[in-house]
Structure 1
């Protein structure tokens, strides 16, 4: 048995683990990194990267079939589903070197390609190596949740971990789960020539503002996606190419392929957390505001910590704990400034409080300002006028922003900056945006906040009148 002593041991080479390993090693700490599967984790191999690549293929096909509005004749796209998946594989391959073992060894990280499990509060065994560490970081991420639906174990199905390996285009893709993954893959596949039915037990895109989600859902329906809500899957039967999903209320949906997209579960099974005195909760590992577990020498970050499950959150968590581990400074994780986006067309993005949450938290102090895409000149030029932004404002400061429309995922960045730095609406209004850009929507939203204060204010009008009389 080999034995290693190190300053920091990182378990998991996904977004969070890689960020900790790179930052800590480059700042002088001795770092060991364990990864029993693929470097880059879920995001690179099965999640963010491949899904956005497939969405891009779908967008290209849709553009060919809907170009007449630009004075270019519509054409029926010649779709090669296998080639689209080849595009996905190529995108992953181009990004993979950034997350590679070789790159991190270049930083001085000792990379061990084994799964790790605790054998004591300060020791982890990985293969034939035992690592003793002053601080340990669990960054094992999450994996697809596959619920025990009767019959599911007898039929073939896909998850996000297998879908991108599929080279045969599904004739009719059934998707159980109407969250972001389900809706993104629904639209990508309808645009690539599959029939698609989404089966959702509650409300599709149910975690987002319903006013904005409805715009996305109506657009998907217009493209041909069948969306069945309040349709809890009760039984699955059939075989490859002929699968049936029966819901609790007796509805039956038939298709050729099945994608399970009902959520995620934290990856803790292999860790033997009991040996380290680490407690869990329903959604993952129990952590405090500093992301420490019940074993104060061990941190948990990213999906496995059971909070918001986004790649950028894992990266943010890495920065929080590096401050604590390397410099001994107090550092706490917050969620109020964390944005997220769903990359459907139109896109859906959120940061901070939704309108409903803000009303509950701030009552009559809340003001909600809106600006619609159809008043933005660039959106008009691009024929991308569907959507709007609404900003929740309390005493001159934004507390949340919700955007549905073209490039919503890009537009939300400004509001994430504003919330992270407690900026005022006046600071947003002071920004000069180049014309014509989609980004002007953000400035115009700030303008919508001040317009009634300036243009509908009798006092302002009286003052201006008096000044005009006295000006030479």
Structure 2
């Protein structure tokens, strides 16, 4: 298709998860779609995010589900760090065809390699070549943010994007940050044999239930991670002329920590520079993210956005779902709203999975918690450090919750559905669940809450009446038979 002479239905800028899903959705609906990617399709998730990080975590436990650390050169380590890197490369190579230009072309999407820039209403250019469009989807993603710490620019720094370029296991790894990426990578490298220090501005996993963060903290410490919370990194010093430089990272209380590698995991920033969004009237927020409404439409009704370039949470699953909504809204002329029920998982050991409201907010809400010390599957596997917690309204409707334990993310699907469908604990308790599973925690938390309804005086009175009535009928029937 000669894109310079034809007005296309949807121009997609960015070939990560949001761009790929949005482009394929629009094409399947019959739209003429061009996707522009400046580097390689697949985005952060495939190359530097979900796929390599979860493979690293799996390798660090020895077999993709174990719980103990391994040494980088130990028996179960797949021939050391080089083996781990080979395993990561293999996982990427296996998944990459699904995100490739060939896969997009097979779905009817025209793929262009280059840099796109908007030049005016309904117009853009790709490396100088003009293209016209009816609608556009901005899906350019985000980059790791590197804070302006004195001396950091001279130190051996990696981010979640460049850590995969390491050819040797760090001996002294300092992690700046305490969110999911920092916790996941910090634990993985510690299990592989690195000495790891985490410098955290507040506390680890600040957006999660405090009890969940406590369990993860204890697990990290058991794996050898030194966690310094409430720490402000003041300066990084690196000796001049050293063949193998070891930097010193100084925090506010004067302590310093050695680092041959510094992993910065302190947030992200949107990729909007050079897109020419001002030429098409697309507004950005104070942090540079593309503002969108509930339908993923920007301030320009012909331009849509999805994924990490928007202020929404940086989750791959969210990018795909929201991009699909944006693309269908654009090419069909409808205004479907995206769901605000957003599940999230931190893939530490144990995992932390959460959705919706995770703590009671006021007297009208309550919680039902099952400690995994009372969950049979957890007992049989000696993995009792965890819990399932539901947040409920006064009618027993499930508003959200947190699950901590092995494969917690697998149970989160049912909890997310319950929140989305506004189910009650009675709904969940009334469904037969397989036994024994970690999912028993969710079921038992629902059962425990449903049972509290029986403690209501009015309900107990009604039940007592029913029991007496049933007893009377049974006695009467027995006398008749006699």
Instruction: Compute the displacement of 1:469 (Å).
Output: 3.1
Give the counterpart of 1:315 among 317, 320, 337.
Answer: 320
**CA shift digits 1:259-289 (9 cap, x unpaired):** 1100111111131211111111134111222
SS at match of 2:82: helix
Q: 1:248: how far off?
A: 2.5
Structure label with greater radius of gyration: 2
Pairs within 5 Å for 1:314-333: 314-333=319-338
User: Equivalent residue for 2:171?
Assistant: 171
Matched with 1:71 is none
Give TM-score scaled by structure 1 length: 0.93
Residues 341/469 of structure 1: CA separation in 2 closer, same or farther (3 Å cut)? same
What is residue 338 of structure 1 aligned with on the other side? 342
Q: Quick one: distance in 1 between partners of 2:267 and 2:230?
A: 16
Q: Structure 2: 5+ residue runs without aligned partners?
A: 476-482
Q: Is the 8 A contact 1:64 1:76 kept in 2?
A: no
Contact 2:386/2:405 (<8 A) preserved? yes
Maintained 8 Å contact 2:305/2:326: no
Deviation at 1:463, TM superposition (A): 3.0
Structure 1 CA distance for aligned equivalents of residues 158 and 222 of structure 2: 25
Instruction: After TM superposition, list the pairs within 5 Å mapping 1:26-105 onto structure 2.
Output: 26-60=28-62, 66=68, 77-78=76-77, 80-105=80-105
Q: 1:267 aligns with which of 271, 288, 305?
A: 271
**SS of equivalent to 2:416:** helix
Partner of 2:310: 305
Q: Does the CA contact (< 8 Å) of 1:313 and 1:338 recur in 2?
A: yes
Aligned to 2:435: 435
CA deviation after TM superposition for structure 1 residue 334, in Å: 3.6
Partner of residue 372, structure 1 = 371
Q: 1:7 aligns with which of 9, 19, 26?
A: 9
Counterpart of 2:157 in 1: which secondary structure?
A: coil
Following superposition, the deviation at residue 180 of structure 1 comes to 0.4
2:478 matched residue in structure 1: none
> Which region of structure 1 is more displaced relative to structure 2, 313-322 or 397-406?
313-322
Give 2:479's aligned residue. Answer: none
Matches within 5 A, 1:280-291: 280-283=284-287, 284-291=289-296
2 CA distance for matches of 1:4 and 1:83? Answer: 49
CA contact (8 A) 2:156 2:262 kept: yes
Gaps of 5+ in 1: 68-74
Counterparts of residues 222-241 of structure 1 (less than 5 Å):
222-238=222-238, 241=245
The two structures have a TM-score, normalised by structure 2, of: 0.91
2: CA distance between counterparts of 1:127 and 1:66? 50
Deviations 1:294-324 (A, max 9, x none): 1111011111011211111111212321331
Given that 1:372 and 1:387 are in contact with CA atoms closer than 8 Å, whether structure 2 keeps it comes out as yes
Give secondary structure in 1 for the equivalent of 2:61: helix
CA distance in 2, matches of 1:64, 1:349: 18
Given the superposition, is the C-alpha separation of residues 64 and 104 from structure 1 closer, same or farther in structure 2, using an over 3 Å criterion? closer
Higher alpha-carbon deviation: 450-459 or 129-138? 450-459
Cα distance in 1 for residues equivalent to 2:463 and 2:66 = 52
Residues 443-452 or 184-193, more deviating? 443-452
Q: After alignment, is 119-128 or 408-417 more displaced?
A: 119-128
After superposition, what is the alpha-carbon deviation per residue over 1:383-436, rounded to whole angstroms, capped at 9, x for unaligned?
111100110011221111111112111111111111122222221111111111
Greater CA drift, 75-84 or 57-66: 57-66
User: Aligned pairs, how many?
Assistant: 459
1:382 aligns with 2:387: no
Structure 2 CA distance for partners of 1:65 and 1:144, relative to 1, 3 Å = closer
- SS at the partner of 1:150? coil
Work out whether 1:396 is the aligned partner of 2:396: yes
Moved over 6 A (4+): 61-65
* Aligned CA-pair RMSD: 2.0
Measured in 2, the distance between the counterparts of 1:451 and 1:381 equals 26
Structure 2 counterpart SS, 1:217: helix
For the structure 1 residues 367 and 245, does the alpha-carbon distance in structure 2 shift closer, same or farther, using more than 3 Å as the test?
same
* Distance verdict in 2 for CA 1:460–1:214, change over 3 Å: farther
- Aligned match of 2:464: 462
Cα distance in 1, alignment partners of residues 260 and 132 from structure 2? 50
Q: Distance in 2 between matches of 1:227 and 1:127?
A: 47
